[in-house]
Amino acid sequence: MNTQKQLRFNSAHLMRMVDDTGILRHAIYDVPNLKEGYATDDNARLLMVAALCYDHTGDERFLALAYRALSFLGYAEKGGWFQNFMRYDRRFVDAEASQECYGRCIWALGTIAGRSTLPQGLRAAAEILLQKTAPAAAGLTQLRANAYAALGLAGWEHPARAQTLAEQLARVAAAYHGKAGPNWFWYEEEITYCNAVLPHALLAGTEVLGSKGLLDIGLESLDFLLQETTRESFFWPIGCNGWSRRGHPPALYDQQPVEACATLMACLTAHRLTQKDVYLEKAQLCHDWFLGANSAAVPMVDESSGGCYDSLRQDGPEPNQGAESLLSWITASLCLQTYKARVQES
């Protein structure tokens, strides 16, 4: 841990959005919206972000956020699964979370359990919760849930992880073989949301399982996604108002910060595996999307508040600054900054 490094972003909105329970889901402009309560998947994201910030700065405030987020996940666990939506009075409103929420929790827990820079107690608590919930991964049927879980299992140093990891990735690879064809190197009939997590999982799994087949699929599909989301020399994610269906032009809006973050993370893993400069260049494009290198030529980051706008619409940024967009920006910023520093040192 390098305690001399400073954050390159304003952490005020992060501190504003987190209370003594966890991170709140939404904001009205940059004011936390208590009526919308909390979501477990956002607190899984917070757990990973807080660990990144702590590793980068050594600031105990971020370590406290990591403890809080892990406590939230422990409270959300029920019978080896997770509940997701919680009201402001700390009562869950759903019996159980979606598969994708579960997968995000496994990703966060695996990341924390395998992170040697964190306090032993935090890692041990994540390990206990992971051992309790990881068996449910065998029943996952949704691709992004498989991918999220695989990313967590790839970071978890446990002897039992290899078989479950291989099962998750086999499902992702099977979807690719079932849908990919000429001019369409993808896992589904549509390119929709959090797209890069699919190739990212295969690439991360390759580092553990050593499968060239998974590596080839991961790179081929990531290259296709980058082709579909690079226009006019900047990153242009698939819009959520219509997605991108095979044989049809993609929706251009609304663009989501989570897409820039997910694609950046996949590109960094691809660069680590291949050492091809193009992936680091694409990661930089994804990062710069937040700073104004986008279709509207406007920053998605509000420097005064420290927040990130929730989407980029045709008429400009949507003004609210919720948890998902904020955590996507911080993750993208720190992941790229940390990775480039390691490359320069090597």
- Segment 29-75, tens digit of pLDDT: 999 999 999 999 999 999 999 999 999 999 999 999 999 999 999 99
pLDDT band at 6 (very low <50, low <70, confident <90, very high): low
Domain range summary for the chain, segments of one domain joined by +: 1-139, 229-346
Helix spans in the chain (H): 12-17, 40-57, 60-76, 99-113, 120-133, 143-155, 161-179, 197-209, 212-228, 257-274, 277-291, 323-345
- Segment 219-265, tens digit of pLDDT: 999 999 999 999 989 999 999 999 999 999 999 999 999 999 999 99
- Segment 186-206, tens digit of pLDDT: 999 999 999 999 999 999 999
The pLDDT value recorded for residue 285 is 98
pLDDT band at 4 (very low <50, low <70, confident <90, very high): very low
- Segment 133-173, tens digit of pLDDT: 999 999 999 999 999 999 999 999 888 789 999 999 999 99
Exposure string for 234-266, b = 16+ CB within 10 A, e = fewer: bbbbbbeebbbeeeeebbbbbbbbbbbbbbbbb
User: Which of 96-110, 215-229, 256-270 bottoms out in mean pLDDT, i.e. has the lowest?
Assistant: 96-110
